[in-house]
Structure 1
Amino acid sequence: MSPLTDDRPAKLPFVVLVLAAGTFLMGTTEFVVAGLLPEIADDLGVSVSHAGLLITAFAAGMIVGAPVMAIATLRLPRRFTLVLALTVFALGHVVAALSPSFAVVLAARVVTALATGAFWCVGAVVATTAAGPAATSRALGMLLGGMTVANVAGVPLGSWLGQMSNWRAPFWVLAGLSAGAALVIGRFIPDEEQREVRSVRAEFAALRQARVWLALSAIALLLGGVLAAYTYISPLLTERAGIPAAAVPLVLTSYGAGALLGTTVGGRMGDRRPLATLITAAAASTLILLLLVFFSTSPVATVVLVTVMGVTGFAATPVLGALVMRFAGSAPTLASALASSASNVGIAVGSWVAGIALASPLGQAGPPLVGTVTAALTLVPLTTLALMRATRATTTPPPPAVPHLAVEPGRGGAAIRTDPCSEAAERSRP
């Protein structure tokens, strides 16, 4: 896979920033419930563990909903799909804020998860198309950065608002912001100049590519490894490292800042050297998680390792998303949706196995050990991709050194010129 060093835009299009604001809202709503479970449980008359189903339902909605919504909205104009997703997202929050029934709130969470899946898979395609092939990883890094900022700022602010007033208050705020975002996206996302007929068969045909599944498995393994440790980071910090409970939010903020740095740096490096960036990030994440098993008895070492874990773990996510879309060729919508599903599958399975390890004699060292093994397994699909690339490079003859030509009419006949778009496409070809 050739490094992309030419025709790289110095600045991402404004459209990407607008879409990143949308992913910020989506990320906030996914995790803000975690900080309000006691208040929700008390108000709706259920146990805290039962109220935790609101988080599980959202994750399940994302796993199933992202690919389903990608196919369901495939032939709709992308701008319309984004606006519709945000509108449904806002209405879901209104219903949850008004309802006294836990079952209705649970159903509203599933609906908002479906809207989130639709927004993400279409937004990823719009952002990468606007940024161009030489800045695909950077654009996805910006979108993932919105999710990361949600964990750093949106979730703590939403939890604080819910605790200071009522758990329904953040839902009203998210509904209002989502409606405003729908108006902004309707204004700034350009409409498609020419309606292309998108084929469901073509989208599914992309799944025959072995490289797509290798990249998807790498997403599930790496995020599953990092989030296996992160899901149970609180008992690790307080019971093993001896950090006061009041300082835990500061450590989590440090982790979120590291994740934001990772998506930014990884997105920039991944456009130049994607596979090298991925293998380095996976190997570094494995090492950091292993060090966390042995040195998490030290408060200082634990804080440093948790912060660096955010950097290394999330440096690979925009690059992997970009590879999935690139390997899918002309059918990126379903591929981007499956990338979202793969990350949620990895998180769900990783946290489940980590919970078993936590209850074992390993105790608080169990989750990072599970994360170490899972992150190390990421090197298997990544190494396979590297070997496939090397094999293709040795068996595929180099293209002739002639520019791509396009014909445009001139006075005395046809004038021949070089087509820079074709040259850029050739350079970005994996």
Structure 2
Amino acid sequence: MPMVGRFAEALGNGTFWAVGAVVATAAAGPAASTRAMGVMVGGVTLSSIVGVPLGTAAGQVAGWQGPFWALALLALAAAAVIARRLPADTGRADSSLRGELGTLKHPRLWLIYLAIALVQGGMMAFYSYVAPLLTERAHLTSAIVPLAMLGYGLGALVGTTFGGRRGDDRPYATLIPAAAGTAAVLAATTLRAPHSVIAVVLVVLLGATGMTTNPILVGEVVRTAGAGRALPMALATSAFQVGIAVGSWFGGLALTSALDLKGPSLAGLALALIALLPLGLLAASQRKAASARS
């Protein structure tokens, strides 16, 4: 039963992200799609920062089932508000299977998906093992780990907000430096992680640089496929999940290799550097298209 519950929750979460992103970007319009995704991703980040400690505290008071019942009731209330407040027509494009599949013919779209998976994988290769790396390599006490993770969440909130605000006007001028910054942070983590204070600072910076890319990449999916396209948005959500899975696996593989505690950050660095290739191709094609129009 626990596995069935996890599957059902993941199914609902993925569906919500795909449809929610379509509604948010359609309501905002193509010119503000990145800002809309910045708000949406920022909301999830904020819920992690606030919700995790609140849920832990509530579980200690009301038992582990208490937070789940509370979340279920809040989800039903949110569904009622959404059903009442959202218009029936959000300006969606042709939603037929042929129309949705036709959007997947854009080569740019698959480069964006690849970039999403690689950037996300680069972060998660390290962050999935942040607790043992902070305690065993940086020699911090276990009590510091939640504070470092809170710092990561705050950095991620700053990153998503910044990316959402800058991504509509200058997507690649923001995106490529942010991805390069993620690689630089992971490189510095490999070299400087034994120093406890620096290790925590680098964890915070990883949240800021890595999460700056997320709303911009999703905004690029909207601009490439067109607003109101559910299937391309669903595949963007899948690309994030692929990145999480591959990054965590690759980081774990590196951790158990001869690289030992340096393995996860080096694995993340490799993925982050590879991500610069599809991002560079996307930026070059955008510049070429802009030159052709002028």
Match of 2:44 in 1: 147
Of the candidates 260, 277, 299, which is equivalent to residue 174 of structure 2?
A: 277
Match of 1:69 in 2: none
SS in structure 1 at match of 2:144:
helix
Match of 1:204 in 2: 101
Is 1:125 aligned with 2:22?
yes
Q: Could you tell me the TM-score, scaled by structure 2's length?
A: 0.95
- 1:116: Cα distance to partner? 1.4
SS in structure 2 at match of 1:271:
coil
Is 1:339 aligned with 2:241?
no
Count of residue pairs the alignment pairs up: 294
Higher relative contact order (CA 8 A, sep 6+): 2
Match of 2:188 in 1: 291
- 1:202: Cα distance to partner? 1.0
8 A contact 2:148–2:200 mirrored in 1: yes
| Cα pair distance change 1:172/1:310, threshold 3 Å | same
- 1:331: Cα distance to partner? 5.8
CA distance in 1, matches of 2:122, 2:136: 21
8 A contact 1:216–1:342 mirrored in 2: yes
How large is the Cα RMSD of the aligned pairs? 1.6
Match of 1:255 in 2: 152
Match of 1:111 in 2: 8
Match of 1:364 in 2: 261
- 1:333: Cα distance to partner? 1.0
| Cα pair distance change 1:378/1:224, threshold 3 Å | same
8 A contact 2:26–2:91 mirrored in 1: no
State the 4+ residue runs in structure 1 displaced beyond 4 angstroms.
Answer: 193-197
Match of 1:390 in 2: 287
- 1:363: Cα distance to partner? 1.7
CA distance in 1, matches of 2:178, 2:192: 20
Match of 2:84 in 1: 187
| Cα pair distance change 1:218/1:193, threshold 3 Å | closer
Partner amino acid, structure 1, of 2:81: V
Is 1:320 aligned with 2:217?
yes
Match of 2:33 in 1: 136
Q: Which segments of 5 or more consecutive residues in structure 2 lack a partner in the other structure?
A: none
8 A contact 1:258–1:308 mirrored in 2: yes
What do residues 83-127 of structure 1 show as CA deviations (whole Å, max 9, x unaligned)?
Answer: xxxxxxxxxxxxxxxxxxxxx232122122212122111111111
| Cα pair distance change 1:232/1:152, threshold 3 Å | same
Of the candidates 223, 242, 257, which is equivalent to residue 120 of structure 2?
A: 223
Matches within 5 A, 1:35-46: none
- 1:183: Cα distance to partner? 1.2
Which structure's CA Rg is the greater one?
1
CA distance in 1, matches of 2:93, 2:274: 40
- 1:348: Cα distance to partner? 0.4
CA distance in 2, matches of 1:196, 1:146: 26
8 A contact 1:262–1:313 mirrored in 2: yes
Match of 1:50 in 2: none
- Percent identity reads 48
SS in structure 1 at match of 2:258:
coil
8 A contact 1:324–1:339 mirrored in 2: yes
Partner amino acid, structure 2, of 1:287: A
- 1:275: Cα distance to partner? 1.1
Q: Could you tell me the TM-score, scaled by structure 1's length?
A: 0.66
CA distance in 2, matches of 1:267, 1:190: 24
SS in structure 1 at match of 2:100:
helix
- 1:133: Cα distance to partner? 2.1
What do residues 305-354 of structure 1 show as CA deviations (whole Å, max 9, x unaligned)?
Answer: 11011000000100000101211125621111111100110110110011
SS in structure 2 at match of 1:208:
coil
Is 1:173 aligned with 2:70?
yes
Partner amino acid, structure 2, of 1:321: V
CA distance in 2, matches of 1:377, 1:125: 29
